[in-house]
Amino acid sequence: MVSGKFRSVALIMLVGGMVALSGCVGNDAGTNTTTSPPEETTTSPDEQTAVSPETDSETSASTDDVAEAFEARMSDLDSYSARMSMRTSFGENETNTTTKIWARLTTDEVRREVVASPYNEGTVTISNESTIVTYNPDSNEITRINRSNVEQERAGGTGMTMIDSVANSMTIEELGTERIDGERTHRVRLEPDSGAASGDMNVTAWLDAETYFPVRVETTSDSGERDFRSVVQYEDVELNPTIPDERFTLDAPADANTSDVSLPDSETYDSVDALREDATMSVPEPDVPEGFSLEQGRRTGGEFRSVSLQYANESARISVTKTNRSMANGSNHNGTESVQIGDRTGQYDEFGSTGIVVWSCDGYRYSVSGAVSRTQLTDIAASIECA
């Protein structure tokens, strides 16, 4: 079992690449290692960095050595600051964003300043365990989100809610040594266990050979018509700096408009019966394929209420969700297909290896998703009564 701080640092290094496609699982787990031997490879140069295979006399470390060193170094990290450049492409859309980050891992405090972006340049976000505060200078608005009523296991430390699935379990595989802008790095593959993340996600990181902090993280996912790729680079990295408290205080104009938002309260359950006792709506009773068992149930309150069930076997997860928020008209997009669910009509879509079936019934919106076949998803959907 790795420490919570190690998982937080691992999430920090992956946030840029996985925000668009991450799942919503957040359980404790360990870090596993594989024993595949490292290999020397040639990586195509990126327009932002020069990457080349190692050519000096130093030998590559083993997978176990790199994984142990990575965990040890990251577990000792109490704070850091860096400049993060991220280039993201999703289908035909490409975005370039540069953000300054200050993170104090001991208190789960993070400050982000967007210094270059086509959408939210100048935006400042400060987060801690209970609150996320964002100031948008273009609209002169402050948004304060209270997340104290959300389970921290789900919310994640240091504001990493988007990629909790990675923390569930990671495999680290050493792929060889390479130089980025002349500096020696370990190129590693970071791979969530099967079912722990959405889609066919491939994550490669280049770890500084001395500090084991990431120099570059590349994430790709082949999801048919909407292929995803991100390249994240960390520059001006300072490890364990003393960050003053003032850095985590928002300095905004006195005339800024302020709005307060509370996230819906959420709770997990170990059994369907326990979930059913607290739920304010009926809980679906799906027929899942043989070999799948209940992993957890979840109830969310507030204006938009929901109940969800998550099932898992050794290689995949299936999620079943019901919410009082119905599908909006015109929600179809390229790649979405109509599908028959018993005597009802729904929509089917795929994101990498993960499929999802969505339909509405009696004012509720239902969905079934998972890395299983389309037929299995539609069969599960058809087994759920409209109630």
Contacts of 252-256 with CB under 8 Å at 24 or more apart are: 252/124, 252/135, 252/142, 253/140, 255/140, 256/135, 256/140, 256/141, 256/142
HSE-up of residue 224 (Cα within 13 Å, Cβ side): 12
Query: Using CA atoms, how far apart are residues 345 and 382, in angstroms rounded to an integer?
Result: 10
Residues 166 and 201 placed together within one structural domain of the fold: yes
At residue 283's C-alpha, the angle toward residues 281 and 284, to 5°, is 135
Task: With CA atoms as reference, report the closest residue to 1 among 169, 162, 171.
Answer: 169
Residues 30 and 119 in one domain: yes
* 318 and 219, same domain (yes or no): no
173 and 315 share a domain? no
User: 98: domain CATH number?
Assistant: 2.50.20.10
Domain boundary among 243, 260, 277: 260
Judge if 142 and 23 occupy the same domain. Answer: yes
CA atoms of 383 and 387, how far apart (whole Å) = 12
pLDDT for residue 354: 83
138 and 73, same structural domain?
yes
**pLDDT for 159:** 38
- Regarding whether 200 and 287 lie in a shared domain, the answer is no
d(CA 142, CA 137): 9
Any idea what the CATH number is for the domain that residue 346 is in?
3.30.200.100
Residue 99: its pLDDT value, please? Answer: 95
Residues 85 and 184 in one domain: yes
* Contact in structure between 21 and 221 (CB atoms under 8 Å): yes
Query: Does residue 147 sit in the same domain as residue 99?
Result: yes
Give yes or no: residues 240 and 311 share one domain: no
SS (H, E, C) 278-339: HCCCCCCCCCCCCCCEEEEEEEECCCCCEEEEEEECCCCEEEEEEECCCCCCCCCCCCCEEE
pLDDT of residue 49: 59
Question: What are the pLDDT tens digits along the chain (387 aa)?
Answer: 344 444 445 555 554 444 433 333 333 333 333 333 333 333 333 555 566 555 444 555 677 888 888 778 778 889 999 999 999 887 778 889 999 999 998 888 999 999 999 888 999 999 998 899 999 999 999 999 987 766 544 444 443 322 233 333 467 788 888 998 889 999 988 776 544 444 467 888 899 999 988 889 898 876 555 677 889 999 999 999 999 999 999 999 999 999 998 777 889 999 999 999 999 999 999 999 999 999 999 999 877 899 999 999 988 899 999 998 765 544 444 568 999 998 899 999 987 678 899 999 888 999 999 989 999 999 999 999 987
Do 253 and 274 lie in one domain? The reply is: no
Dist. CA 50–CA 281, nearest whole Å: 55
Query: Where is the domain boundary, 260, 282, 307?
Result: 260
Nearest residue to 325 (alpha-carbon basis) of 304, 341, 342, 310 = 304
Given 260, 290, 324, the domain boundary residue is: 260
Which structural domain, as residue segments, surrounds residue 297? 264-383
What pTM, to 2 d.p., does this model score? 0.66
pLDDT at res. 138: 94
Q: What integer pLDDT is reported at residue 131 of this predicted model?
A: 92
- Record the tokens describing residue 232, joined without a space: 């994240």
- Domain count for the chain, please give it: 2
Residues 284 and 334 in one domain: yes
